[in-house]
Amino acid sequence: MSLKIENVTIYTGRGDKLTESAILIEKNKIVAVGEEAVHKQATTVIDGQGKTILPGFFDMHIHLGMDGVADPFAQISTDSQALSAYRHQANGKKQIKSGVTSVRNLGSKGHIDLAYRDAIEAGLVTGPTVYGSGQPIVMTGGHGYPLASEADGEDEIRKVARQTLKQGADVLKLMATGGVMTPGVDPGSPQLSENEMKAAVEEALHAGKTTASHAQGTIGIQNAVRAGITTIEHGIFLDDETIHLMIEYGTVLVPTLAAPYYIVQNADSGEIPPHAIKKAKYCYEAHKESFRKAVKAGVKIAAGTDAGTPFNLHGDFAKELELMHEGVMTVRAIITSATYDAAAVLNVQNETGSLEAGKVADFIILSEDPENSLSAFRSVETVYQGGVMVHVN
């Protein structure tokens, strides 16, 4: 059985845009895209006139165990493991509906994201492809400690890294600085040292895995980059020296612009902890400017929302893309950052992340072309995962 969708606009994820084109799917793989697909026969043919096809999105920074409530750490502290698992499943479904077919979950208490990933792979539940970190690794009392593994010194960090990899983590998450949501810590203050992070990076590399570092302050970002971290999360305070260092090391930025945006927008709700509001307001403009500077300098970007933080809901991936566009990224660059470049961060770009023959058939159909209207990112009509329609609006 084969499926061809024709008369469509296609963004391949590699920067190419094909008009009046087609895509041919057989089983769970893409057989042909573009002119070759136009001339091939198929068992089922769909006329997609006026529609646009993109690779399935990757959200490279989410928290499936957090719902976007005003105080997510309070929620985590009262959730049982069973309730958290149900929460992961409910939020995973919301991701699929928004066109996100793959997620990188960067922090779940009890490593529940890894169990959720395994349940999806075993066919017990449906959801996005999950690349999970399990519990993040933090210094004692460090940012995110309510859902993390606390460790101090290179030896302890190395042991916890090995334990996390033993649990099946796809990526190790480390906290290089303080953050907005944790009380009593400064987003600009360094936490794990360069050498501590380097120990974890070494363990990840030995296991063939990648790393991510929550890093908001300049010194902490530089420590993480020199330690060999794969991605910098947030990157709120980036100066020219730090940006050049990231380019030198090939470090990818996952900006999560939506996270402070939603805290600032909802500051008067009376629900968000006051310490988080104060810190988010302090960081907000610097974050946007750092992102603009990084894009203009040529830092590679992978899209991620930090979904689960206050009022930052799962299923609202489009908001991050809109904020990235405001921050000077072109529509095609945004699409690449949310597809092929994201897959490359996870070393799976040869299997997924773009619409090319031989790759897994994860793709979405939009009702319009995002280069004509940015609102197209909110008009996800159909989602295919592994060649199977998993959602239709």
User: From first to last of its 393 residues, what are the pLDDT tens digits of the chain?
Assistant: 899 999 999 999 999 999 999 999 999 999 999 999 999 999 999 999 999 999 999 999 999 999 999 999 899 999 999 999 999 999 999 999 999 999 999 999 999 999 999 999 999 999 999 999 999 999 999 999 999 999 999 999 999 999 999 999 999 999 999 988 887 888 889 999 999 999 999 999 999 999 999 999 999 999 999 999 999 999 999 999 999 999 999 999 999 999 999 999 999 998 998 988 998 898 999 999 999 999 999 999 999 999 999 999 999 999 999 999 998 999 999 999 999 999 999 999 999 999 999 999 999 999 999 999 999 999 999 999 999 999 998
> Cα separation of 156 and 172, whole Å?
15
Per-residue pLDDT tens for 119-177? 999 999 999 999 999 999 999 999 999 999 999 999 999 999 999 999 999 999 999 99
Number of domains in the chain: 2
Which residues, other chains included, contact 283 with Cβ-Cβ below 8 Å and sequence gap of 6+? 180, 187, 216, 236, 237, 260
Q: Do 42 and 68 lie in a common domain?
A: no
Q: Do 260 and 167 lie in a common domain?
A: yes
Per-residue pLDDT tens for 89-99? 999 999 999 99
Q: Do 61 and 202 lie in a common domain?
A: yes
Q: Which of 26, 30, 29 is nearest to 10 (CA)?
A: 30
For residue 60, the model assigns a pLDDT of: 98
Q: Do 340 and 378 lie in a common domain?
A: no
Q: Rounded to the nearest 5°, which phi and psi values hold at 100?
A: -90, 110
Helical ranges in the chain per DSSP H: 35-38, 72-78, 81-97, 112-121, 153-166, 194-206, 218-227, 240-249, 258-265, 274-297, 317-326, 331-337, 340-345
DSSP sequence for 255-275: --THHHHHHHHTGGGS-S-HH
Q: Do 187 and 63 lie in a common domain?
A: yes
pTM for the full predicted model = 0.97
Q: Do 267 and 341 lie in a common domain?
A: yes
> Cα separation of 149 and 158, whole Å?
12
Q: Do 372 and 289 lie in a common domain?
A: no
> Cα separation of 248 and 181, whole Å?
31
Q: Do 282 and 338 lie in a common domain?
A: yes
Q: Do 91 and 237 lie in a common domain?
A: yes
Q: Do 97 and 108 lie in a common domain?
A: yes
Q: Which domain holds residue 264?
A: 57-345
Helical ranges in 104-236 per DSSP H: 112-121, 153-166, 194-206, 218-227
**CB 76 within 8 Å of CB 146:** yes
CATH number, position 151: 3.20.20.140
Q: Do 63 and 191 lie in a common domain?
A: yes
* Burial status of residue 77 (CB atoms within 10 A of its CB: 0-12, 13-18, 19 or more): exposed
Q: Rounded to the nearest 5°, which phi and psi values hold at 271?
A: -115, -30
Length of the chain: 393
Q: Do 13 and 77 lie in a common domain?
A: no
**CB 185 within 8 Å of CB 194:** no
CATH number, position 382: 2.30.40.10
